Chain A
Amino acid sequence: MTAAAAGPLSPPAAPAPAEPGKAQRRAAARRRRVPYLLLLAGVAWLLVFFVAPLVYQASTSVQTGTLEDGFKVTWHFATYWDALTEYWPHFVRSLVYSGIATVLCLVIGYPLAYTIAFRAGRWRNLVLILVIAPFFTSFLIRTLAWETILADQGPVVSFLNDLHVLDVTSWLGITEGDRVLATPLAVVCGLTYNFLPFMILPLYTSLERVDGRLHEAAGDLYATPFTVFRKVTFPLSMPGVVAGTLLTFIPASGDYINAELLGSTNQQMIGNVIESQFLRVLDYPTAAALSFILMAVILAVVTLYIRRAGTEELV
């Protein structure tokens, strides 16, 4: 693999002779084939096991039939309508929960990313490891640990009860009575926790590239620390903010682990519905239609968001 020498990305060393010889032409043709040969296996894998299933899923969503007689394509678009009318609360809940979790991740993750990038000094690598390390403990086990932490008789809940915090949150409608488990608060807390590293790492990557001297320069020009952040640091970290929010929002909106383990039936998200339609109800057309609606909604939200973020960056 003479990637470097053959790479047409590097400028040609000398202009090609006007009349290339046969051998040279053959070498050029071979060189043109190299990228396709390299791509072949990986792209084929994705086409067969990622794109084809999605296409197949599209056809499944307009099929009707029963498990015994088999499903046939009947262009039954009503499945989409029925799925939406029956499960729209789950869609709304998914978007609201994952939206709140994304904002919380940004608010919680930004100071940590900032600290690692500018203030950690020789602790930087250790803190980075501690951020990445949870990736390597099964996230199911860690989510179950939240069940322990938020348990009804646990120290956290009794502490919050003593401070009457739970009265306030119950009044707000995010908890019920004197417990945290099986409430929206627990699910959002779990989602925030699970996807926090996905926010911190891109934030850190883009903050790390920010030149610390820019802060000094802004300070020399009598900017308050808050102004420095608003006018210099935050705009420069925008790529990380966009990447981080997408990496958090997309998986969070399809997640059903947190809703299942930390919530009750009243906190079920759209992922729970797709899972049960597919694995328990065995209603494949509905599961397919729901997946497609979820995909479309996410695509719409993400496109809108990238547009907004893009213009904000320009201002």
Chain B
Amino acid sequence: MRLIRRLRANLVVIAGVLALVYLIVPNLVVLAFSFNQPKGRFNYTWNHFSTDAWQHPCGVAGMCGSLTLSLKIAVYATVAATVLGTMTAFALARYRFRGRGATNMLIFLPMAMPEVVMGASLGTLFLNMRIQFGFWTILIAHIMFCLSFVVTAVKARVMSMDPRLEQAAQDLYATPAQTFLRVTLPLAAPGIAAGALLSFALSFDDYIITSFNAGNSVTFPMFVWGSAQRGTPVQVNVIGTAMFVIAVLLVLAGQLAGGRRKARG
């Protein structure tokens, strides 16, 4: 009886935990099958344990090249989108000006547009302007769709900042540059970091928009897509697992650093 009552009281938590399991299980499958040695070309059924793939992560033709391309594009796109997006966010959060509403709309639209529409239309434009598809077209597309997310993240942060802190800095004879570098920027940093992190993840992971603008270049998601037809190599699981672990560790480290700063006051 008591058990049933406890179960009922924690029904929400149980449902929540089940949802979490649903979210995490595929990652665990990816992890498990990175140690598989598949019988045929398809890595779908468990054969036997092996660390081959972990020892030779670049043992598949073309995969590490695509990984390098993806990382390169993700870094460039993140830097560009973060700089442009932060500037735009400051303008939107700090100033009233003619066209502010329209700009907000322009920022919102890419996030409310199915990727397939954005990808196809940008691809059509490049095609008709006879621009060579490849690294630069992918980069342009990625900066385009990351921008809105950076603006949204930074804007939310800047709007919640207390403007009196900056006024205080100016009252204490800080130059505008000093105020910006030592007060405004550190205060806005969490928002900027969140935007940058999101950009990186979105860019690195994008398949749909990239596929319309890549030409013959192959990013990592495109490599995975291509290999899915003829059987994904185990190394893909190795990369997937490594990314997962690195991401969790990075976020944990960030949390710890943030927590310590908060504790220090």
Contacts and interface: CB of A to CB of B under 8 A. Distances in A.
Interface of A: 1-5, 7-10, 32, 34-36, 38-39, 41-43, 45-47, 49-54, 56-57, 60, 108-109, 111-116, 119, 125, 127, 129-149, 151, 153-154, 193, 196-197, 200, 246, 250-251, 253-257, 261, 271, 274-275, 278-279, 284, 287-288, 291, 294-295, 298, 302
29 contacts: A1-B180, A4-B179, A5-B176, A9-B95, A34-B91, A34-B95, A38-B88, A42-B88, A45-B143, A46-B106, A46-B110, A46-B144, A50-B109, A53-B121, A53-B124, A56-B124, A57-B124, A119-B16, A127-B20, A134-B26, A134-B27, A137-B30, A140-B224, A145-B26, A145-B27, A151-B44, A200-B19, A255-B208, A298-B114
Contact of A144 (B12, B85, B224): B224
Give the 10 A-B CB pairs with smallest separation, nearest first.
A254-B114, A4-B166, A115-B16, A136-B247, A111-B15, A42-B88, A38-B91, A35-B95, A57-B121, A53-B121
B243 A5 contact: no
Interface residues of B, number: 93
Contacts of B128: 56, 60
Contact of B228 (A53, A144, A278): A144
Nearest to A278: B120
B89 to A, nearest CB: 9
B41 interface: no
Interface string B244-260: 10111001100100000
B103 A141 contact: no
Given A112-B15, A144-B228, A250-B112, A257 B121 contact: no
Contacts of A54: 117, 121
Contacts of B112: 246, 250, 298, 302
A171 B221 CA distance: 37
A136 B20 contact: no
Given A2-B176, A139-B205, A254-B114, A153 B243 contact: no
Contacts of B87: 38-39, 41-42
A145 B144 contact: no
B63 interface: no
A149 B33 CA distance: 11
Contact of B114 (A2, A153, A253, A279): A253
Contact of A141 (B88, B140, B224): B224
Contacts of B18: 108
A111 B19 contact: yes
A131 B23 contact: yes
B96 interface: yes
A133 B27 contact: yes
B79 interface: no
A50 B24 CA distance: 34
Contact of A142 (B30, B45, B140, B143): B30
A149 B176 contact: no
A5 B166 contact: yes
Contacts of A34: 91, 95
Interface core residue of A1, A46, A51, A112 (most chain B CB under 10 Å): A46
